[in-house]
Structure 1
Amino acid sequence: MNSITVDSKIVIEPTAVRAWAEKRMIYIELSDGRIFGFPGDRFRILKKATNEQLAKVKVEVNGYALRWEELDEDITVPGVVAGHFQLPLT
């Protein structure tokens, strides 16, 4: 895990150790043991992807990013953990 300092406090940024997809949900296991899931349909490119394409998710950049090579899509792990999505819930 990496840390940053914010207002003189050390903040641990979440990183992924593995990622996988089940149906339209993307799951990441974080370095602290938590498992976090989010709907792939909350991102424009992922919403158009097939289930097979979503399943090809890879952890990149030392756990800071999720990558779908075939879709040319990258999403940051700290961003999704913080709830930063492109599309509203429908």
Structure 2
Amino acid sequence: MNTLVKHTTPQAQKVWFTDAKMYVLLSDGRELGIPLEWFPVLRDSTEAQRMNWRLIGNGVGIHWEDLDEDLSIAGLL
């Protein structure tokens, strides 16, 4: 039996920060906690700059206008 399986990357739904980590809630219920050390632009930004994010591509990425920074969910996984 041939079954086509579509592999899709979950989409981001929510983003928030602590002093040391960025958290991303995914559409499949997973919650990612990523060290800010991995992303010097975000690590060195102000709280206001970090919080000025928007989802792009229906949640396949996150964009920070003030920082000219983009992250893909696939890249975080």
- Pair in the same fold by TM > 0.5: yes
Number of aligned positions between the proteins: 74
1:45-90 per-residue CA deviation (whole Å, 9 max, x = no partner) reads 2232123322223222110111111111001011012xxxxxxxxx
Q: In terms of Rg, which structure is larger?
A: 2
Correspondences of 1:1-90 after superposition (within 5 Å): 9-81=5-77
2:75 & 2:28 partners in 1: Cα distance? 17
Note closer, same or farther for the CA distance 1:21–1:67 as it changes in structure 2 (3 Å cut).
Answer: same
Residue ranges of structure 1 left out of the alignment (5+ in a row)? 1-7, 82-90
Between Structure 1 and Structure 2, which shows a larger proportion of strand residues?
1
Regions of 4+ moved over 3 Å: none
Note closer, same or farther for the CA distance 1:26–1:57 as it changes in structure 2 (3 Å cut).
Answer: farther
Note closer, same or farther for the CA distance 1:55–1:24 as it changes in structure 2 (3 Å cut).
Answer: farther
TM-score for the superposition, normalised by structure 2: 0.77
TM-score for the superposition, normalised by structure 1: 0.68
**Alpha-carbon RMSD:** 1.8
Indicate the percent of aligned positions where both proteins have the same amino acid: 32
Note closer, same or farther for the CA distance 1:22–1:47 as it changes in structure 2 (3 Å cut).
Answer: closer
- Counterpart residue type for residue 69 of structure 1: E
**Conserved in 2, the CA contact under 8 Å of 1:19 and 1:59?**
no
